[in-house]
Chain A
Amino acid sequence: MSTETATPEREERGFVDRLRASPFLTELLSNRLAIFGLSLILLITVMGVGTRLAVFVGVLDFGQLLDTQFAQQQYYPPCGDATLTGWLSSLGSCQHFFGTDAQRRDVFLRTMYGAWLALKYGTVTVAASTVLGVGLGTVAAYYGGWIDNVIMRTMDVLLSFPSLLLALAVVAVFGTGLWKAVFALTLVYTPRFARVVRGAALKVLEDEYVEATVALGARDWRVIVRHVLPNSLAPITVQSTLNFGLAIIDLAALSFLGFGATAGTPSWGWMLTKGVENGLINGLWWMSFFPGLFLALTVLGFNLLGDGMRDALDPRMQDAVD
């Protein structure tokens, strides 16, 4: 390729410059809701990674999170007081900040660790479906014809199934467990990425410069890696962000129904199930309240950020009304 003389470094700098000047970022950063969402995500990430590191370094004993040596119904309310006012007034001198569950495990620590699990399994789900979706979408866009048709119409049919029910069907065939739940959800989410990537890739391929490159005989993979992928990055990122929250909810839902996390795992979904089962009706609210709260906050964070990104991306929405 004689037309491409740019060295890697120069391309790198060009990319950063473009990013700095991009209307996408300016637009996004001026969106207060999106910034709020981003802060939520950062907070949860610090929580999760921090707790994981604490366990790794040895400050926190992982066994303490799983320990079941105490008999059933040996719970301890947040700061020793089950009422909300009592909790707020005794925040200063507090033993179990969020109380303990029925096995007397500290809800605060388990919730913190739950953030790590949610991020971990959420990342794997989203990353796997992104990779699959990028693969299928690019192939569909690049080769066109019946390949495109078969891939994309299949994705359409998969998309028309309700996500939780499709995931349940996959679980019914392949069995239960957190990793199988991740597998099921990857299947559910892949079509969304394939569709977005194909759309973006088609736009790139229409570009005159890229057309010329192809006409000059560039290899398929080279065109895809150098031109199609970098230019599809923004829509892929938006789609990942939006689906991250959904993935975390769906994973928790599968755990809640008993098909995901197994007994004892400090995952938010499982803590919710157990917390509801073990005493919500008797007023032991803290066991399920806190994991649920952090789950909802995380998902809200991703949805707010994703929404903001989409608005920043889609120029049609900006001049909606005068």
Chain B
Amino acid sequence: MRKLKKVFVTFISAIALTFGISSANAQDTIVLGSAISLTGKYATNGEHTQRGYDLAVKLINDKGGVKVGGKKYNLAVKYYDDESNASKAAALAQRLIEQDGVKYMLGPYGSGITIAVAPVTEKFGVPMVEANGAARSLFTKGYKYLFAVLNSADQYLSSAVDLAADVNKKAGKKPSSLKVAMAFEQDAFSLDVKLGVMERIKHHGMKVVIDDALPKELNDMTATLQKVKALKPDLLIVSGHSKGAMTGVKQITDLKVDVPLIAMTHCDAASINKKLGAGNGDYVLCGSQWHKSLTYKDNYFGSASDYAKLFEKVYGYDPPYQAAESSAALLVFKDAFERANSLDQKKVRDALAKTDMMTFYGGVKFNAGGQNTSKPMVMFQVQKGENKVVAPVKWAQAKLIWPAPKWADRK
């Protein structure tokens, strides 16, 4: 009997140990919370996101912090690791809010995980600015506390379809005669990309000849590509995060698949221009939220290329757009705090809703659903191992190379 009691006492003190020591809020610091993928299948992009956040926090603090009610506050971010798992992310968001007393949230990485976190922040009335959840369903649920600085996923590759229609028309081929092959992963993000693409395909009256779904444990898409070889479509669209881009380009190279135009997502996160040997990633068209050659500017990071230089100096590689949009999220938060001139969640939320600003990443202005409407997507094409913006025309660095030369004609 006494032993059992002892066991229970040990249990209870263990609980106290586990749960007790977590909340330590320094004065004059605004703590933002974020559950982010430090391990698991999104760990690379999770790291880009975290670095984007950290860089912006450091810069804002160095430049005088946030002024609210005449007082200076520093920013800090409390991270948890969601293991790239939607279920864990939701639990961790709850934990950040309820146990760590976090009053403002930054988004996690990935659409699926953001969809899991958004109901939690909404339930507790915690404003969240997210930079990496692009699924359109996020903005149609009537969330009041969710703000996204990025374009929704359905816009990622829809302009690639328009582009294909355009170049073919110029070459004397009717858009409605075009054949399209598609391969999309079965997850929240890629299915949304597909939605946008399908809309444009219908609009042009193109014909879908292959519509494959990619599994999550993707490392071989030979079957899809062999079908592509057999049916010779005019446009191939692949979306499956970094592994879709990587596997796709790798096997297109191996199988020497000739398609006049190939469009993908996550090319820069997967660095297909560098990792696959010289020239093998060439001519792939990629949808991107941001590119360092764009001409946006703000008072903190300067221009987009200044941001790229700073990021490169600190972390040693070119910032993918995932990092840039994450940094932008903090600029938005800072701006909202100062305009609200209060740390009240409701007031900050209202200020966020009225955001209308310019950053190095592009304009930020939210519609009623919390979606950023003042920034277009860009498309770049890999040309000689460099990512060159080809659309929209306003920022184009180079002309789209179309059709992609046949493998037999490449060196």
- Check if A and B associate: no
- Residues of chain B touching chain A, judged by Cβ–Cβ distance below 8 Å, are none
- Residues of chain A touching chain B, judged by Cβ–Cβ distance below 8 Å, are none
